[in-house]
Chains A and B, each alone.
Chain A
């Protein structure tokens, strides 16, 4: 432990994170220098270029692993995996945003800056080796997201979503920091077995792990601390019954931000959740499985039931993202302390990556199809009617994403879901897997609704789409679709990456 404390900065290891901040700073300067209203294009360009550099830096530093920043963060394969996904998602979202924010009359450079800072926050979350760093990451990300959700100021839903998200988010913050405090305090109160010495109070994950491994009797206060921290994570991952903020925030946010929020922050939240619980609280894992079993069931089912009755594709995707969080939780349960089998965690990583790709693709196409951008919600299922004859390519791409989200081969969505179910069965949760597949079958209905409208119905509303497909939406959608098909047929590479990454958690 002392080695890591004196481990020093190791700037190279955290270079990508530093670069993200630098890019954001440069973007601010660009915004200040150029005349107001015309700077966003340049800011977008700088951001995209910067993110490519960040990806390049991550690639260059891929073998330079270990603790950094005085041991406060840990750069391991797990960090690398999420660093790439998060940067990729942010890149995609920034790429498709320019014309969309112009349409929404919120063409301000802060839009991009907030995304970059949110990325930085998420990166801290996945690499944090100390609960306080993770806390800082969550807060950095959340503050940016509160702003982004409320960015379409003239829409009531946007304001409402942002306020709800902010208020409930503040509660989460309270839970998290209170949990850390109780953990910190209770560890310091506990004696080291066989001696009369006390443990040094700590918030470091590796020290907490050592504490749980050696202590015979975990004090009540520690339990409460662990529970509070868990609640905070469940909140950020939008697990029922802590999901109330998400439909409103997702619905009110500009759709590019909805795409972002349902993928990257969710991935970051699950990453931090995995790291804290698998590594830090690993030895007491058995204690929380019962609760998580029920939460997984409720989350899948509630998300599905709500998604079934939506008339807006945007809301449908928002609710279905809750369902997908339920599937992920199912695999989360499969952890067994001391076991060398980390397939559950690997399945989560694989699915988070695949889910990010297919969900971004689906949202991007929905943006291009939507006819009611000026309305509060819009994104009616009806907008998709007759799309296949009007615009065959976007319709076909949407078909791929819908099949992938429904988990039908030969898409990566199927493979990801299979891997999740597999780890649940492997851990002995056959009943949970059965509930999962039944939910999955029910979800087919609302994903197919989009397909039915695109291919089997005629357009009955002749208005043109608000944004349409000119420009930057299609390239992103094509890239996502190709990735989804390629990973569906040859999942090997991403699978290996996920399996290697989770070894760092042990």
Chain B
């Protein structure tokens, strides 16, 4: 049994410990070391993509160890077609967010340490196949994110950080009760009680849980995940957290953290409690559609660019939920690829907003205008990323949204029709914002001296752009990895 996945998960933590060696004054060195650790982690995770056997629905590179035997807790890691791309997205965004953190000046060691530990928490969550271990990673993630928002965030950072923490905590603790209930109410012959996800899945396939139990459990799990996604009406923590978080925090939040919620549905809530899915499907579809339209409508009226992008996340994640609960191969595949797309596009949008914020320390749309003339390259990159977020054919956003809508139309035509209006609204809020910021006369003299993109900014944006175009033009590279896993999921 190899320790490959364990290495991927814990290298960032080791990196965080390593940072303790360097004195606080060596800011540049600390940043470099963090970058190297993140890049190393990405380099180590990359071969997963090539060595992964996409024709098998099984978990691969499994690691199974006893952890607390007397309570039936094991340490199980494994990757399948559903988690593979999310793991890679996480490690891929790692070095990028380090590059995007140039404006951070305050206690760098703590900042990068928190970021590295967060990386461990996120990777662990995607890779855990023991419910208890999953829960541990899920909770561990909270602490560094709480600090990233609360210490390095904006003016209202403390309110946002505490809100973020308590919202997530309420949901996840109820899920914990659900996990414990599963543990005691499923007895597997020869094994007894266990948190082992695979054993539990195997068992419930033959002997499903009673229907009422499934409904309650689905509700407990779905609430925890819905808060994380976030689905309407549990989304109110998101704009606060996003707006107050530093740029890198927003990128991680949008890029990876929100995917935890949708991943939770695909991995746990939906396959484990099929009766719950049946029962709650109309509600989930409704909430997804409301999220799409409501998020988009609220985005239109935002005066703050970052808040606009934050609300657009509510709308985009609504698409992902719509695709998942369509329960068709196209819908689920679209949802899966849309998770990646959203990570890339919205991550890039937050980085881009951060670029002008670093120069002018404001994100108000009204403060800008006509900056396409001053920063042509910036305007071009922004245009590309924005179009990908809108869902223009040839870029990644189109692939995901199109598949989701097709998939949803088969089983829930009304939801698909209503959801499609979200695409139009996305064009409205993004293009309108773009026009106000980049075109027209330069109304604000303070903007005249803004330099165009710097090398570090290019370095953090270019990799994202590459994949935005790649997925748009030839998504099959990535889709092929998940097809079998999704077929398996839909059974």
Contact yes or no, A441 B166, CB < 8 A: yes
Within 8 A of A (CB), among B50-109: 68-71, 107
Q: Which residue of B lies closest to A495 (CB)?
A: B70
| B173 x A456 contact (CB < 8 A) | no
Type the 1/0 row for B423-459, where 1 means its CB is closer than 8 Å to any CB of A.
0000000000000000000000000000000000000
Query: CA A495 – CA B143 in complex, angstroms?
Result: 26
Determine how close the nearest CB of chain B comes to the CB of A424; give it in whole angstroms.
9
Residues B158 and A425 in contact, CB atoms below 8 Å apart: no
Task: Indicate whether A430 reaches chain B with its CB closer than 8 angstroms.
Answer: yes
Out of A403, A410, A422, name the residue touching B136 (CB < 8 Å).
Answer: A410
Q: Which residues from B are CB-within-8-Å of A444?
A: 165-166, 169
**Distance from B103 Cβ to chain A, minimum over Cβ atoms (Å):** 18
Among B68, B135, B174, point to the contact of A495 (Cβ < 8 A). Answer: B68
- A456-B181 contact, Cβ under 8 Å, with A409-B139, A495-B68: no
Q: Are B173 and A440 neighbours in the complex by a CB distance under 8 Å?
A: yes
State in angstroms the CA–CA spacing of A499 and B71 once bound together: 11
The answer to whether B181 and A430 touch across the interface, beta carbons within 8 angstroms, is yes
Q: Evaluate contact between B151 and A441: CB separation under 8 angstroms.
A: no
In the complex, are the beta carbons of B139 and A414 less than 8 A apart?
yes
B68 contact set on A, CB distance < 8 A? 491-492, 495
B69: which A residues are within 8 A, CB to CB?
492
Q: Return the contact of B180 from the options A410, A422, A499 (Cβ within 8 A).
A: A422
- Smallest distance from the beta carbon of A231 to chain B beta carbons, Å? 31
Asked if B306 lies at the interface with its beta carbon under 8 angstroms from chain A, I say no
State whether the Cβ of A199 lies closer than 8 Å to any Cβ in chain B: no
Please tell me if the beta carbons of B184 and A425 are within 8 angstroms of each other in the complex: yes
Q: Say yes or no: is A5 at the interface (Cβ < 8 Å to chain B).
A: no
Report B240 CB to chain A, min CB distance, Å.
15
Indicate with 1 or 0, residue by residue over B131-167, a CB within 8 angstroms of chain A CB atoms.
Answer: 0000110011011001100110000011001100110
Q: Give the docked Cα–Cα distance between A2 and B250 (Å).
A: 73
Q: A430-466: which residues lie under 8 A (CB-CB) from chain B?
A: 430, 433-434, 437-438, 440-441, 444-445, 448, 452, 455-457
Q: Do the beta carbons of A421 and B139 come within 8 Å of each other?
A: no
Closest A residue, CB atoms, query B24: A392
Nearest neighbor of A457 in chain B, beta-carbon distance: B158
Tell me if B374 counts as interface (CB < 8 A to partner A): no
Q: Are A425 and B169 interface neighbours, CB within 8 A?
A: no
CB-CB under 8 A for A455 and B147, given A410-B136, A425-B180, A492-B70: yes
**B161 in complex: contacting residue of A441, A456, A496, CB < 8 Å:** A456
Residues on B with C-beta less than 8 A from A421 are 176-177, 180
Question: Is B198 part of the binding interface, using a Cβ–Cβ cutoff of 8 Å?
Answer: no
A355 at the interface (CB under 8 A from B): no
Per the bound structure, the CA–CA distance linking A27 and B142 in Å amounts to 49
A422 to B70, CA, bound (A): 13
With an 8 A cutoff between CB atoms, is A426 at the interface?
yes
Residue of A nearest to B176 (CB): A437
In the complex, A455 Cα to B142 Cα: how many Å? Answer: 16
How long is the Cα–Cα vector from A444 to B173 in the complex, in angstroms? Answer: 12
Q: How far is the CA of A418 from the CA of B166 in the complex (A)?
A: 18
Q: For B171, give the chain A residue with the smallest CB separation.
A: A441
Interface residue tally for chain A (C-beta within 8 Å): 31
- Tell me how many residue pairs across A and B have CB atoms closer than 8 Å: 76
The contact of B173 among A389, A425, A438, A499, by CB within 8 Å, is: A438
Indicate if the CB atoms of A455 and B176 lie closer than 8 Å. Answer: no
A410 to B176, CA, bound (A): 15
Q: In the complex, which of the residues A408, A437, A456, A457 contacts B177, with contact meaning CB atoms closer than 8 Å?
A: A437
Judged by a CB distance under 8 angstroms, whether A281 is at the interface is: no
Which residues of B are found within 8 Å of A438, using beta-carbon distances?
170, 173-174
Question: Given A444-B166, A445-B166, A448-B165, are A403 and B143 neighbors across the interface (CB < 8 Å)?
Answer: yes
As a 0/1 sequence over residues 7 to 40 of chain A, the CB contacts with chain B under 8 angstroms (1 = contact) are: 0000000000000000000000000000000000
B103-139: which residues lie under 8 A (CB-CB) from chain A? 107, 135-136, 139
Q: Which residues of the partner chain A approach B140 to less than 8 Å between Cβ atoms?
A: 409-410
Does the CB pair A437–B157 fall under 8 Å?
Answer: no
**Separation of A281 and B456 alpha carbons in the complex (Å):** 72
CB-CB contacts of A466-506 with B at 8 A, as 1s and 0s?
00000000000000000000000001100110010000000
Interface residues of A in 26-77 (CB under 8 A from B): none
Residues of chain B lying within 8 A (CB to CB) of residue A135: none
Collect the chain B residues with CB atoms within 8 Å of residue A455's CB.
147, 150-151
Q: Which B169-189 residues have C-beta < 8 A from chain A?
A: 169-170, 173-174, 176-177, 180-181, 183-184
Q: Does A419 contact B (CB under 8 A)?
A: yes
Measured in the bound complex, the distance between the Cα atoms of B132 and A491 in whole Å is: 14
Contact between chains at B158 and A456 (CB < 8 Å): yes
Q: Bound state CA distance, A437 and B161, in angstroms?
A: 20
Determine the chain A residues whose CB is within 8 A of the CB of B158 once the complex forms: 452, 456-457
The digit string for B184-228, where 1 denotes a CB below 8 A from any CB of A, is 100000000000000000000000000000000000000000000
Which chain B positions have C-beta within 8 A of A492? 68-70
Expressed in whole angstroms, the Cα–Cα distance for A496 and B169 within the complex equals 29
> A433 contacts B180, CB within 8 Å?
yes
Residues from chain A with Cβ under 8 Å of B150 in the complex: 452, 455-456
List B contacts of A437 (CB < 8 A): 173-174, 176-177
A492 to B176, CA, bound (A): 20
Determine how close the nearest CB of chain B comes to the CB of A304; give it in whole angstroms: 13
Q: Which residue of B lies closest to A415 (CB)?
A: B68
Contact for B170 among A409, A418, A422, A441, CB less than 8 A: A441
Residue numbers in A under 8 Å from B147 (CB-CB): 455
Q: How far is the CB of A484 from chain B (nearest CB, A)?
A: 14
Chain B min CB distance to A414 (Å): 7
Residues of A within 8 A of B166 (CB): 441, 444-445
A495 to chain B, nearest CB (A): 6
Q: Give the Cβ gap from B365 to chain A, nearest Cβ, in Å.
A: 29
User: Which residues of chain B from 230 to 251 have any CB-CB distance to chain A below 8 Å in the complex?
Assistant: none
**What separation, in Å, do the CA atoms of A441 and B175 have in the docked complex?**
12
Are B161 and A430 in contact (CB-based, < 8 A)? no
- With a CB–CB cut-off of 8 A, which chain B residues contact A441? 166, 169-170, 173
* Contact partner, B139, options A408, A445, A457, Cβ 8 Å: A408
Interface mask (A134-156 → B, CB under 8 Å = 1, otherwise 0): 00000000000000000000000
CB–CB A495/B71 < 8 A: yes
A452: B residues at CB distance < 8 A: 150, 158, 161-162
Within 8 A of A (CB), among B438-491: none
CB distance from B221 to the nearest CB of A (A): 14
Interchain nearest-CB distance for A339 vs B (Å): 14
Bound Cα distance A345, B27 (Å): 51
A408-B143 in contact (CB<8A):
yes
Binary CB contact string for chain A from 165 to 184 against chain B (1 if under 8 A, 0 otherwise)? 00000000000000000000
The CA of A410 and the CA of B184, in the complex, are separated in Å by: 23
- Expressed in whole angstroms, the Cα–Cα distance for A444 and B176 within the complex equals 16
Complex formed: what's the CA distance from A445 to B164 in Å?
Answer: 11
Q: How far is the CB of B38 from chain A (nearest CB, A)?
A: 22
CB-based contact B181/A425 at 8 Å:
yes
Q: Which residues of A lie under 8 Å from residue B169 when comparing CB positions? A: 441, 444
- Please name all residues of chain A whose beta carbon is closer than 8 Å to the beta carbon of B107 when the two chains form the complex: 389
Judge whether B71 and A408 touch: CB under 8 Å: no
C-alpha spacing A409/B124, complex, angstroms: 13
In the complex, what residues of A have CB within 8 A of residue B183's CB? 422
Give CA–CA (A457, B136) in the complex, Å.
Answer: 28
Please give me the 4 A-B residue pairs with the lowest Cβ-Cβ distance, nearest first.
A437-B173, A425-B180, A409-B136, A441-B170
18 contacts between A and B (CB under 8 A): A408-B142, A408-B143, A409-B139, A414-B139, A418-B176, A421-B180, A426-B184, A430-B177, A433-B180, A437-B177, A438-B170, A440-B173, A441-B166, A441-B173, A444-B165, A444-B166, A492-B69, A492-B70
Q: Which residues of B contact A (CB under 8 A)?
A: 68-71, 107, 135-136, 139-140, 142-143, 146-147, 150-151, 157-158, 161-162, 165-166, 169-170, 173-174, 176-177, 180-181, 183-184
What would 19 more interface pairs be, CB under 8 Å, given A434-B177, A437-B173, A452-B150?
A: A409-B140, A418-B176, A419-B71, A421-B177, A422-B71, A425-B180, A430-B181, A437-B176, A438-B170, A441-B169, A441-B173, A444-B165, A445-B162, A448-B146, A448-B165, A456-B161, A495-B68, A495-B70, A495-B71
